[in-house]
């Protein structure tokens, strides 16, 4: 095997000569972007993250697919981008350095966006003493920076490391707990051990919603999965179905066994709820089997999907960062209007520390209102995303350099006054 990860290996020689866009990646990514909006509308509606009723439970559960699918496909997109670089003339000797610089640059931009634009979108204020969140975009950016170091390794080694991190993630918890107390807050960024992260002795605390483990494992596994996506369609589809169905079956087998042996307590939830209620923070092995298995199995069907609805999802999937940066402030502003219409007051104080909003049951929206606002937000986002996707498409082949999972980050570097990276 060649040392450069995206080079053609024996298993990849069953591919077409050109590196084409993988339509299923855009479609599935678009689906998860739309599902993500459900959860973020839920945040501003006061509806809890799960509950005893089927409606509330599945409103939260369906959004569990978003982060695993997005991080996994981000890894696959990094692999595909490396293949495009080779096709466009980058030598195999220079490829690791070019790809690593690309990933590191975009990772740093994502981290910067998390703590500036995105944070302001959640709260509509700039008082960092009251709220700092290390959320999904922070995690994604950090994982991309770590991937910049991994792309020098062979593809199989990256995949094996990723799967190993997922399987043995609890070892990071044990290691962090054994560290001296002064170091444990830093370890909280790597794996949750219950330590408080604070900026300075009297500074604000940082809520670490997404630690780096196991997500770097998910991204690394997705990178190796990119080698499957570039195979001939028949071979690719068989492998996707096999991997996806085996992962789903393992979840049902292991998760079902856990439900049978666990004590359900005095007021047990239905067995189906207990099976599906897997730990997300951090993402457990069962959680990732439950979400990534069906996602991978869906790829062959997504690749063949046609029609208007598939086109709508694909538009969102082609401009995911543009969508993400728009959807949070739009949801926030729309929610304030709904609160004002419903209760006579926008209640902006509720969202000073969003998305950790706790409201009495009597004040929460009902589910029909939640889904109505969700539909309105997505409908408002579509024309803007279609317009931006058209602009990117008209730029021609050079825009391929901006297709890594979160859209045109070069644009945001220019917005921030940074020089676009060269390749």
- The 10s digit of each residue's pLDDT in 312-323 is 999 999 999 999
- Write the CB contacts of 344 (distance below 8 Å, at least 6 apart in sequence): none
pLDDT one-digit tens code per residue, 40-63: 999 999 999 988 899 999 999 999
Between 229 and 359, the higher pLDDT residue: 229
Q: Are 352 and 124 in contact (CB under 8 A)?
A: no
Confidence of residue 75 (pLDDT cuts 50, 70, 90): very high
Long-range contacts from 264-273, C-beta under 8 angstroms, 24+ separation: 269/52, 273/57
Question: Distance between CA atoms of 409 and 401, rounded to whole angstroms?
Answer: 10
- The pLDDT of residue 18 is 44
Q: How much is the pTM?
A: 0.89
Q: What is the pLDDT of residues 19-45, one digit of tens each?
A: 456 788 999 999 999 999 999 999 999
CA angle 127, 132, 133 (to 5 degrees): 145
Which of 100-114, 211-225, 242-256, 392-406 is predicted least confidently?
Answer: 392-406
What integer pLDDT is reported at residue 26 of this predicted model? 93
Whole-number pLDDT of residue 21: 60
Yes or no: say if 45 and 90 are a contact pair by the CB < 8 Å rule.
no
Distances (CA, A) of 13 to 17, 230, 247: 9, 9, 26
**Side-chain half-sphere CA neighbours of 74 within 13 A:** 34
Confidence band for 203, pLDDT divided at 50, 70 and 90? confident
* Neighbour count for residue 237 (Cβ, 10 Å): 18
């Amino acid at each position: 095997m060649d040392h450069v990860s995206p080079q053609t290996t024996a298993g990849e020689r069953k591919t077409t000569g050109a590196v084409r866009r993988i339509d299923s990646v855009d479609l599935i990514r678009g689906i998860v972007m739309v599902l993500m909006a459900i959860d973020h509308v839920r945040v501003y509606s006061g509806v809890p993250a799960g509950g005893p009723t089927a409606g509330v439970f599945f409103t939260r559960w369906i959004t569990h697919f978003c982060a695993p699918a997005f991080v996994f496909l981000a890894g696959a997109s990094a692999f595909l981008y490396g293949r495009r670089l080779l096709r466009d003339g980058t030598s195999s000797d220079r490829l690791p350095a070019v790809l690593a610089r690309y990933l590191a640059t975009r990772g740093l931009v994502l981290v910067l966006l998390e703590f500036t634009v995105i944070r302001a979108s959640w709260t509509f204020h700039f008082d960092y003493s009251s709220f700092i969140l290390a959320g999904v975009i922070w995690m994604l950016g950090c994982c991309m920076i770590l991937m910049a170091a991994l792309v020098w390794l062979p593809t199989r080694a990256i995949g094996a490391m990723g799967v190993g991190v997922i399987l043995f993630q609890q070892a990071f918890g044990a290691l962090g707990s054994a560290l001296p107390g002064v170091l444990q807050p830093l370890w909280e960024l790597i794996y949750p051990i219950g330590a408080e992260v604070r900026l300075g002795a009297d500074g604000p605390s940082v809520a670490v919603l997404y630690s780096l483990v196991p997500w770097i494992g998910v991204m690394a596994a997705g990178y190796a999965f990119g080698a499957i996506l570039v195979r001939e369609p028949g071979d690719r589809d068989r492998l996707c179905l096999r991997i996806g169905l085996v992962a789903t079956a393992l979840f049902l087998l292991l998760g079902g066994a856990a439900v049978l042996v666990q004590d359900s307590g005095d007021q047990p939830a239905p067995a189906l709820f207990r099976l599906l209620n897997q730990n997300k923070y951090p993402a457990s092995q069962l959680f990732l089997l439950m979400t990534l298995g069906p996602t991978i199995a869906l790829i062959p069907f997504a690749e063949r999907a046609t029609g208007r609805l598939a086109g709508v999802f694909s538009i969102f999937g082609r401009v995911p960062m543009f969508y993400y940066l728009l959807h949070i402030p739009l949801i926030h502003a729309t929610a304030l209007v709904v609160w004002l219409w419903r209760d006579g007051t926008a209640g902006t104080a509720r969202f000073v520390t969003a998305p950790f909003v706790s409201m009495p049951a009597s004040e929460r929206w009902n589910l029909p209102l939640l889904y109505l606002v969700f539909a309105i937000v997505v409908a408002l986002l579509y024309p803007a995303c279609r317009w931006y996707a058209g602009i990117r498409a008209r730029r021609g082949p050079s825009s391929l350099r901006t297709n890594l999972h979160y859209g045109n980050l070069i644009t945001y570097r220019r917005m921030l006054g940074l020089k676009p990276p060269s390749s």
